[in-house]
């Protein structure tokens, strides 16, 4: 049996293909049951995210085509729609790939931590329907441990590489405790939504959402347990804001220098962080001339992201070495497990031969044969039975195979090499 990974990702398939062939969380448990019911599939798990779908299986190598056909049927995809976008990895390559994925080394954003949570979810789903066996169970556990090791031993996740998260980290740097701060978010698009989630996760005290459409502002604010206002109400709420982040599609400045100056006067020189993520800009650059204002633009944050990405790339080189070493450790376990299976089969064969010979010996004793003769019968018959298969294999092997088998025989039976 082989450890197989059949998959596609942002490296190999466009978004439309990834969407077509992905599984939702709700679909995966039943899909795993159907997959596990296929002949030859001993273990199975499915990881499916917006950037990758991967099917893990313990199966015979000849079952690769069966896995691919099953995936096509499950997604009702036409023949030929998968082959050019998928990869199939076996044994060592499958192990190495799994460890790299868990560690964020194969992600669209290098070192991002979300994939580890997604892998843990895939593990839990497979465990829930009992589609895991000893190999995949250990592989996932090993991957989780390696991901933790990579994050503790390298700086791959230490520096933010998204503009949204960099903005939040900047706020944390200026305001050591976000719990007592109020954030005013101007806009309700994707960037602001992402920022809002980050701020909420970091425990910001209060969120006010301002948008041209009050309805959209209310939708976002409700999800955040925040407060919604229209753009016309910004000046009235600005003095409350410790952190102002703006990202709209407006033409012209949303906030000017005089409006901010009046808000600062009411704040009694309490500092304010303002981050403008809009193109064209929402905040008048002249605001930066005011005391007690820290004004940053999208270009400032991009410079931070670029520098942080260099740090992550260097950390990734260290992480790759760690992952390679850990993949070798797992390979050794796989190899020892294969040896264990073979040893158990060998012992079972010997036990059956012993029982068969003993049964014949007991009949001989019962019929009155001399014990000495029966003992000789047991010794000779059992010796012949145990040595028949290896002797036959040695005699019938071709020259190359025979040389390999002879070396193995010397080791297995601890025979001295200098004897004929």
pLDDT value for 286: 95
416 is catalytic: no
Tokens for 407? 């070396």
More confident residue, 4 or 167: 4
Residue 403 pLDDT > 80: no
Least confident of 178-192, 239-253, 307-321, 353-367: 307-321
> Which of 172-181, 255-264, 273-282, 405-414 reaches the highest mean pLDDT?
255-264
What pTM does this model have? 0.62
Q: Chain-centre distance of CA 21, in angstroms?
A: 18
Mean pLDDT of 401-407: 79
- Give CA–CA dist 59/38, Å, rounded: 10
d(CA 399, CA 394): 10
The pLDDT of 204-231, averaged and rounded, is 92
The per-residue pLDDT for 407 is 82
Q: Which domains does the chain have, with CATH numbers?
A: 2-157 (3.30.460.30), 163-305 (3.40.50.720), 336-412 (no CATH)
Tokens representing 50?
Answer: 């917006």
285-340 pLDDT per residue, tens:
999 999 999 999 888 888 777 777 888 888 889 889 999 999 999 988 887 776 66
Q: Which of 15, 50, 393, 412 is catalytic?
A: 50
- pLDDT, tens digit (0-9, with 9 covering 90-100), for 127-157: 999 999 899 999 999 999 999 999 888 888 7
Give pLDDT, residue 161. 67
Residue 420's pLDDT band (cuts 50, 70, 90):
very low
Helix axes of 134-153 and 298-366: crossing angle, nearest 10 degrees: 140
What is d(CA 101, CA 53) in angstroms, rounded to the nearest whole number? 12
Residues 221-251 as b/e (b if ≥16 CB within 10 A, e otherwise) read beebebbbbebeebeeebbebbbbbbbbeee
Q: Would the pLDDT of 419 be above 60?
A: no
pLDDT level of residue 396 (50, 70, 90 thresholds): confident
- 272 pLDDT more than 70: yes
Share of the chain above pLDDT 70, in %: 97
> pLDDT at residue 122 above 90?
yes
pLDDT tops 60 at residue 34: yes
Q: What is the mean pLDDT of the chain?
A: 88
Contact 330, 139 (CB under 8 A): yes
Residue pair 102/144 in contact (Cβ under 8 Å)? The answer is yes
| Banded model confidence at residue 219, pLDDT cuts 50, 70, 90 | very high
Mean pLDDT over 244-254 rounds to 90
The tokens describing 62, both together, are: 């000849």
Q: What average pLDDT does the segment 245-269 reach?
A: 91
**Reading across the β-sheet that carries 293-297, which strands appear in turn?**
227-230, 206-211, 182-186, 243-246, 272-276, 293-297
Q: Which of 46-60, 66-80, 237-251, 393-407 has the lowest mean pLDDT?
A: 393-407
Average pLDDT in the 83-107 region?
Answer: 91
């Amino acid at each position: 049996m082989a450890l197989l990974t059949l998959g596609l990702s942002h490296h190999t398939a466009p978004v439309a293909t990834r969407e077509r062939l992905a599984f939702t969380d709700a679909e995966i448990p039943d899909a795993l049951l159907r997959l596990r019911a296929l002949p030859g599939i001993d273990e199975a798990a499915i990881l499916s995210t917006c950037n990758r779908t991967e099917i893990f299986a313990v199966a015979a190598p000849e079952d690769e085509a069966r896995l691919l056909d099953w995936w096509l049927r499950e997604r009702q995809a036409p023949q030929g729609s998968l082959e050019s976008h998928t990869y199939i990895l076996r044994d060592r390559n499958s192990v190495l790939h799994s460890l790299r994925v868990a560690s964020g080394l194969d992600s669209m954003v290098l070192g991002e931590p979300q994939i580890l949570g997604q892998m843990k979810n895939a593990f839990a789903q497979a465990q829930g329907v009992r589609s895991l066996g000893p190999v995949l169970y250990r592989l996932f556990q090993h991957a989780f441990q390696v991901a933790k090791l990579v994050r503790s031993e390298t700086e791959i996740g230490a520096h933010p590489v998204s503009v949204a998260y960099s903005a939040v980290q900047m706020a944390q740097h200026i305001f050591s405790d976000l719990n007592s701060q109020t954030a005013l978010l101007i806009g309700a698009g994707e960037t602001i939504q992402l920022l809002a989630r980050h701020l909420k996760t970091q425990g910001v005290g209060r969120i006010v959402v301002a948008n041209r459409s009050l309805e959209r502002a209310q939708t976002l604010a409700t999800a955040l347990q925040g407060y919604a206002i229209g753009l016309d109400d910004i000046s009235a709420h600005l003095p409350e804001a410790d952190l102002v982040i703006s990202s709209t599609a407006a033409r012209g400045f949303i906030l000017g220098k005089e409006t901010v100056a009046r808000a600062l006067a009411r704040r009694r020189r309490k500092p304010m962080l303002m981050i403008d993520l809009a193109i064209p800009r929402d905040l008048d650059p002249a605001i930066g001339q005011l005391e007690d204002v820290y004004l940053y633009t999208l270009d400032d944050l991009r410079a931070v992201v670029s520098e942080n990405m260099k740090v992550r790339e260097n950390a990734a080189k260290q992480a790759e070495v760690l992952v390679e070493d850990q993949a070798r450790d797992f390979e050794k376990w796989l190899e020892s497990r294969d040896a264990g299976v073979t040893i158990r089969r060998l012992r079972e064969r010997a036990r059956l031969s012993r029982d068969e010979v003993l049964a014949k010996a007991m009949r001989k004793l019962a019929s009155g044969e001399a014990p000495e003769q029966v003992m000789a019968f047991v010794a000779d018959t059992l010796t012949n039975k145990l040595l028949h298969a290896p002797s036959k294999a040695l005699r019938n092997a071709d020259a190359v195979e025979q040389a390999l088998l002879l070396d193995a025989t010397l080791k297995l039976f601890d025979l001295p090499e200098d004897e004929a």
